[in-house]
Structure 1
Amino acid sequence: MRTYGQYCPIVRAVEVLGDRWTLLIVRDMLIGATRFNEIARGLPGLSRALLSRRLRQLHNDGLIERSADGYTLTEAGEQLRPIVFGLADWGARYAFGDPRPEELDPEVLMWWMHGQVDTSQVRKRSVIQVEVADRRRTFWLVLEPGEASVCNYDPGFDIDAVLKSDLRTLYQMWEGEIELNEGLRAGTISLTGTRTAIRALPGMLGFSPVAPLVRAARHS
């Protein structure tokens, strides 16, 4: 391993965390990813071979350990939480702007969204159809008691609500740049369906874990 040749704790931390993709792997594990395929699906630009190598490095450095369900963060890994979200806070204030075209992937967004849906109040199956108008893509969020999944094909269940917008706007809603109700009022987001589903959706539809930081930066 190449080092910086300086005796300093900052240097040692950078040597552990400074490789490409490493902090994003830690980010995804901090918000709940535990299995290899879960991490890979949330980071489609990362090859599986390189993911294996980065996980091995994190294990060797004492930040993660293998478990029956895949991988878990050690205490040292968990202690990175304030650092990772501190970077998110700084990024929201000083480095965040409009999304670049190459940052907009509908499948990644839907994977992220399904992982943050609050199913604690779901008593029976509910299906949310998400239409990405400018990409001509449709996804289905299938919500069951205590579980959410995302489908790239029609699961064949009754649709309770339809959420429709362009991909850029959906990303901005997810990241906290705009509020769902703000988009509905502006007409950039459409939400139709049963009265019960429309009322429940804003409370169930999870947003990015960094959305509160983005909202705070936006209003500061």
Structure 2
Amino acid sequence: MRYGQFCPIAKANEILGEKWTILIIRELLMGARRFNELQRGLGMISPALLTSRLKTLEEQGLVVRRRINGQKGYEYFPSASAEDLMPVLVAMGEWGLCWARHNITDADYDADFLMYYLERSVSADNLPGVETVLRFEFSDFPTQKAWWLVVTKDRVELCIKDPGKDVDVYFYSTVRTMADVWMGDSSYKEAIKQGDLSVVGPSSLTKNITSWLTPSIFAESPRQSRSVTASINA
């Protein structure tokens, strides 16, 4: 895509303006390295399109591809130019919090996407002991109500089948409630008080959940109270 302009915004958009490109960079900056990890974070993208976008980003110098030692396949790393996009993505996200939230629908609250980000958000070093098992149950996701995160010092594993281990902390809510708490639109205390969330486990773990289940990077970002319509009519 070319715009025929020397404007730096136009030139940047020639690289970043294709569908999925910004979200692919988001996933790379959030730590996704392998093709299947990128697919998990992107959801509906086809493998062929993801392959094409990664190739383009590599040609443009935003992605570094390296073969996995002793295995088939590649890992993908953000280059310095891609890492320089982090403040741009944060600014886009904060703009979205203020001016695009009215476009969110019930279908956007996807349990797979939420659990992938919760998996990424666990700070294993802040959990006591060798292993911690977390169980999430979403009443509004009937096809897969229960999810488990098995946390050790070395890894966090997401399970969609009972791993057969003793559970340390149970979370009961809807996908939307858990997403809102993680995003910072609500707090654990508020959601529990309103009856939208139940957290069951020892107080040593439940009294300060955010110490080991870190919130979204947007949790402290400002939320715009005015509606888009009100802004236009002002």
The verdict on a shared fold, with TM-score over 0.5 as the criterion, is yes
* Aligned position for 1:204: 212
TM-score under structure 2 length normalisation: 0.87
1:101-121 per-residue CA deviation (whole Å, 9 max, x = no partner) reads 221211111011101111112
How far 1:91 sits from its partner (Å)? 1.3
Q: 1:218 and 1:178 mapped to 2: Cα distance?
A: 15
How far 1:126 sits from its partner (Å)? 0.7
**Percent identical residues:** 32
* Aligned position for 2:229: none
* Aligned position for 2:37: 38
Q: What is the 5 A alignment of 1:59-208?
A: 59-68=58-67, 70-97=75-102, 99-122=104-127, 123-136=129-142, 137-199=145-207, 201-208=209-216
**8 Å contact 1:120–1:146 — kept in the other structure?**
no
Q: 2:219 and 2:201 mapped to 1: Cα distance?
A: 26
Letter matched to residue 116 of structure 1: S
1:29-86 per-residue CA deviation (whole Å, 9 max, x = no partner) reads 1111111111101111111110000000100000011135501111111111111111
Distance 1:49 1:160, change over 3 A: same
- What stretches of structure 1 of length at least 5 have no aligned partner? none
**8 Å contact 1:129–1:138 — kept in the other structure?**
yes
Two-structure CA RMSD over aligned residues (Å)? 1.8
Q: 1:218 and 1:193 mapped to 2: Cα distance?
A: 35
How far 1:211 sits from its partner (Å)? 2.4
SS state of the match for residue 211, structure 1? coil
**8 Å contact 1:121–1:145 — kept in the other structure?**
no
- What stretches of structure 2 of length at least 5 have no aligned partner? 69-74, 227-234
**8 Å contact 2:62–2:81 — kept in the other structure?**
yes
Distance 1:218 1:199, change over 3 A: farther
Distance 1:159 1:219, change over 3 A: farther
Q: What is the number of equivalent residue pairs in this alignment?
A: 217
